Amino acid sequence: MSLLSPNLYWLALPLVIVVSIVYSASRHEAWPRIWRRAIRLSVLIMTLLVMATAVLLFFNTQV
C-alpha cells in the first residue's frame, strides 16, 4: 500500500459535493433551496461512505 493511497479518499469529497449540487438543481429551482438540499444530501452521502468504510475495515481486521 502506497503512502499516497489515503489521500485518494479526499477525492470523493468534491465528487460528492458536485453530484449533490447537480442532483438538487435538477429537482428545485430556487437557489437557497438548492443549497440546503445539496448540503443535506452531501452529508448523507458522506455519512454512508464513512459507515461503509468503517464496516469494511472492521471485517478486514477480523481476519
**Domain-embedded: residue 6:** no
Q: How far apart are alpha carbons 26 and 38 in whole angstroms? A: 11
Is the pLDDT reported for residue 45 higher than 70?
Answer: yes
Mean pLDDT of 50-57: 92
- Measured torsion, CA atoms of residues 48, 54, 60, 62, in degrees rounded to the nearest 10: -130
User: Is the pTM here over 0.75, yes or no?
Assistant: yes
| Residue 33 lies in domain | 13-61
What is the pLDDT at residue 42? 97
**Domain-embedded: residue 51:** yes
**Domain-embedded: residue 7:** no
Kindly indicate the confidence band of residue 11, based on its pLDDT and cuts at 50, 70 and 90: confident
Kindly indicate the confidence band of residue 62, based on its pLDDT and cuts at 50, 70 and 90: confident
Single-letter residue type at 7: N
Higher per-residue confidence, 19 vs 9: 19
**Domain-embedded: residue 18:** yes
